[in-house]
Structure 1
Amino acid sequence: MESVLLPSEIDIFIDNMTPQKLKDIATPQWLDWHQRLQRLNQEALIEVSALKEEHVKETLVTYGKVKVLTHEAILISIWKQKVLPQLLKLESSPESTFIGYSILYHEAVCVALLELVLYHPSCCDTLEDSACDLLDYAYGAASQLLSIKQIEPAAQENTVTELMRQRNNLSFDIGIRTLAIIRYLTENFDRLPFSITSQVYTTYDIPVLFTEILCIAPWIKDGKMYSGGTWKIWDNEQLGQAEAQVWLTLRQLLLDPECSKRYHLTESRRNQLAKLLPLMRPTLLDQLSPLIELNHWLCRVGVMEQSVPSSGPLLLETVLGLKENILKECGGKWKKIAEKQLPLVFNHDKQLLQEVAKKLSVAYNTELLEKLEVKDQATCAQCGKGAIQRCSKCKKSWYCSRACQVTHWPQHKEECKC
């Protein structure tokens, strides 16, 4: 598959990445930045799907720009909570919401790119203190999965209803993607600030949150599974990527030696975690065999007496630098910001809107993006079932379980050496 960016363009785009200011959102300069970021996201998807050298990821690490993606996701999250409602008060029936949608979509692009690159531990190294902001953001986005559902377009909907539906559906997709981001953070505690571990176990209680998410299974609806940004027919057995991310995170956290030191198993937590056992069906354990150890752990916890909390490590107060700086810079003047952005976000100039739409048409190539979302459609190299794990060495072959990977090894080992 052909690239959408040359290596030199990737270097220039990433080298010039800078955190944007909330007051500049929707300006022509910001729209140019939005287009560049989406093209970087497309190129990163092409590199992953075609098993090419991941130049986008390597350049983000080299220039230390992963934290800029975190800043941008938080920036748009604040904008849609604080500024967008003010805009809709100022103009309750806008003629066009295309630019408004582009702003909301910008957050989804940042999260999609973060999901891709944080698969590599080296990217976690570059997060530094912004990892705390990313965890806080990802927790909030994932928590929304407990309440939001994807909404189908109505036969007739006005521009505001359309924009709110788009906002809701993008929030759902972002929430699904942050499940993987949280997993990558939990697998790299040793590369992140010391306080991250305490936040995961204590401040945000990720084990209980992920248990609640598994119980409602938001990625399943009307016999379909949400995969790669779309709903696909589900056979009631295949394990999807989103569910696999949640289970693997729980296994990582609950079987980690740090769990006994930092995670006091209160009666409430034990009751919540007990809900996982009925969900661990044989078909699940067949497809994700590492969960057998988690199954045994949950059974032991169920018969253990309530643990006595230990003194544990000293907890340090976490300062969310990125979020706090954005809020401080805006000074709570959301209405004033909205008044300045109103003619940009809800622009009435049809010619200008057509020019912007034409400019972004390549970046919004949804057909290309659907083709590139291959990781959710991978099949097991041994049995042909849906696969959710790939060979950690060559990253080329996919498997539905450890058993299939072991069985396939005699055929795969020569290819794996290449």
Structure 2
Amino acid sequence: MDSVLLPSEIDIFIDTMTPQKMKDIATPQWLDWHQRLQRLNQEALVEASAVKEEHVKETLVTYGKVKVLIHEAILISIWKQKILPQLFKLEPSPESTFIGYTILYHEAVCVALLELVLYHPSCCETLEDSAADLLDYAYGAASQLLSVKQVEPEAQENTEKELLRQKNNLSFDIGIRSLAIIRYLTENLDRLPFSITSQVYTTYDIPVLFTEILCVAPWLKDEKIYSGGTWKVWDNEQLGQAEAQVWLTLRQLLLDPECPKRYNLTETRRNQLAKLLPLMRPTLLDQLSPLIELNHWLHRVGVMEQSAASTGPLLLETVLGLKDNILKECGGKWKKLAQKQLPLVFNNDKEALQEAARKLSVAYNTDLLEKLEVKDQATCAQCGKGAIQRCSKCKKSWYCSRACQVTHWPQHKEECKC
């Protein structure tokens, strides 16, 4: 598959990445920055889909720029909470929301790129203190899945309702991607600051949150399943990627040898986790066999007598450096910032909008996205069913279960490259 960027362009784009300021959002310079980031995202998607050298990931790690992506996602999340409502107060019925949507989409681009690169443990190692900001952000985004639903356009939809609907739908997609980000963080706790473990188990209680999300199953709607950013027909059995991420995260956390030391199984928590057992259908265990161990663990926990509460681990105060710095820089002057951004965000100048659209058309490569759509429908190399797990060595062959991977190994081992 053709590349989006040359290696030299990747190096330049990433080397010059700098955290943006709230006051600069929607300026022509910021739009150029958004375009570069989107092209990096598409190149990373091409590299991951084609199983080729992941130059974008390696360069982000080498230059230490993964933190910039976290900063940008948090920046836009604050913008849509604090400034967007002020903009609608100043201009309730804007003529154009093109730039406004671009700003909202910028957050989704950052999260998509984070999801791609954090699959690799080497990226998690570079997070350092920003891991706390990322976990806080991903927890907030994933929590929205308990209430946010994707909705279709209304027949008579004004520009305000249109932008708010787009904001809602992007929040849903970001929440789905945040499930994977949380999984990657939990699988690399030993590479992250010590305080992150306490935050995962205690501050945010990820096991209970993910249990609630499984009960709601936001990725299912009207006999369809959300996969690869779109809704597809569902056969009522096939395990989707989002659900698999949640189950694998729960298995990782609850079966971790450190869990008894970090996670006090109170009566409330035991009752919440007990909701998982009815969800562990035979078809689920067939497709994701590692969950058999989790199933056994849940049954044991269900019959255990309540033990005395142990003294939990020392809780360290969470310092959200990136988020706190953004809020401090803005100084709570949201209305003033909105007044300055109003003519940029709700720009009515046709020539300016056409120029912006021309620049961004390079980044929004629809032909490329259509080609990559096929990659979201990976099939098991052994039985041909839908697959959700890749060979951890070569990352080329996909499997629906551990059993199929073991069965296929005699044929696969010759082409598998360690």
Is the structural similarity TM-score above 0.5?
A: yes
- The one-letter amino acid paired with 1:190 is D
- The one-letter amino acid paired with 2:260 is S
Q: Does 1:137 align with 2:144?
A: no
User: Contact 2:108 / 2:170 at 8 angstroms: preserved in 1?
Assistant: yes
- The one-letter amino acid paired with 2:17 is M
User: Contact 1:227 / 1:241 at 8 angstroms: preserved in 2?
Assistant: yes
User: Contact 2:150 / 2:172 at 8 angstroms: preserved in 1?
Assistant: yes
SS of 2:193's partner is coil
> Which residue is 1:380 aligned to?
380
Q: How far, CA to CA, are the matches of 2:324 and 2:289 in structure 1?
A: 42
Deviation, 1:154, is 1.2
Gaps of 5+ in 2: none
Q: How far, CA to CA, are the matches of 2:295 and 2:367 in structure 1?
A: 40
- Aligned identity (percent) is 90
Q: How far, CA to CA, are the matches of 1:32 and 1:143 in structure 2?
A: 32
SS of 2:232's partner is strand
What is the correspondence of 1:264-413 to structure 2 with a 5 Å cutoff?
A: 264-413=264-413
1:239-274 per-residue CA deviation (whole Å, 9 max, x = no partner) reads 000000000000000000111011111111111100
What is the correspondence of 1:18-417 to structure 2 with a 5 Å cutoff?
A: 18-417=18-417
Q: How far, CA to CA, are the matches of 1:157 and 1:3 in structure 2?
A: 38
Q: How far, CA to CA, are the matches of 1:375 and 1:227 in structure 2?
A: 11
Q: How far, CA to CA, are the matches of 2:417 and 2:323 in structure 1?
A: 45
- The one-letter amino acid paired with 2:346 is F
User: Contact 1:45 / 1:373 at 8 angstroms: preserved in 2?
Assistant: no
SS of 1:416's partner is coil
Q: How far, CA to CA, are the matches of 1:383 and 1:156 in structure 2?
A: 47
Q: How far, CA to CA, are the matches of 1:35 and 1:310 in structure 2?
A: 52
Q: How far, CA to CA, are the matches of 1:396 and 1:200 in structure 2?
A: 31
SS of 1:127's partner is coil
TM score, norm. by length of structure 1: 0.99
TM score, norm. by length of structure 2: 0.99
SS of 1:88's partner is helix
SS of 1:305's partner is coil
Q: Number of matched residues?
A: 418
Runs (4+) off by over 3 Å: 373-376
SS of 2:53's partner is coil
- The one-letter amino acid paired with 1:348 is N
Q: How far, CA to CA, are the matches of 1:93 and 1:48 in structure 2?
A: 41
1:304-341 per-residue CA deviation (whole Å, 9 max, x = no partner) reads 01132222322110110000000000000000000000
Q: How far, CA to CA, are the matches of 1:87 and 1:267 in structure 2?
A: 46
Larger mean Cα displacement after TM superposition, 219-228 or 153-162: 153-162
Q: How far, CA to CA, are the matches of 2:243 and 2:51 in structure 1?
A: 24
Q: How far, CA to CA, are the matches of 1:146 and 1:55 in structure 2?
A: 36
1:349-406 per-residue CA deviation (whole Å, 9 max, x = no partner) reads 0111011011111212244224324553111000001111111111100000010000
SS of 2:415's partner is helix
- The one-letter amino acid paired with 2:41 is N
Gaps of 5+ in 1: none
- The one-letter amino acid paired with 1:118 is L
- The one-letter amino acid paired with 1:72 is E
User: Contact 2:264 / 2:312 at 8 angstroms: preserved in 1?
Assistant: no
User: Contact 1:240 / 1:376 at 8 angstroms: preserved in 2?
Assistant: no
Q: How far, CA to CA, are the matches of 2:32 and 2:241 in structure 1?
A: 32
- The one-letter amino acid paired with 1:38 is Q
Q: How far, CA to CA, are the matches of 1:281 and 1:221 in structure 2?
A: 19
User: Contact 1:228 / 1:374 at 8 angstroms: preserved in 2?
Assistant: no
- The one-letter amino acid paired with 2:133 is D
RMSD: 0.9
SS of 1:19's partner is coil
Q: How far, CA to CA, are the matches of 2:267 and 2:417 in structure 1?
A: 50
1:100-145 per-residue CA deviation (whole Å, 9 max, x = no partner) reads 0000000000000000000000000111100000000000000000
Deviation, 1:280, is 0.4
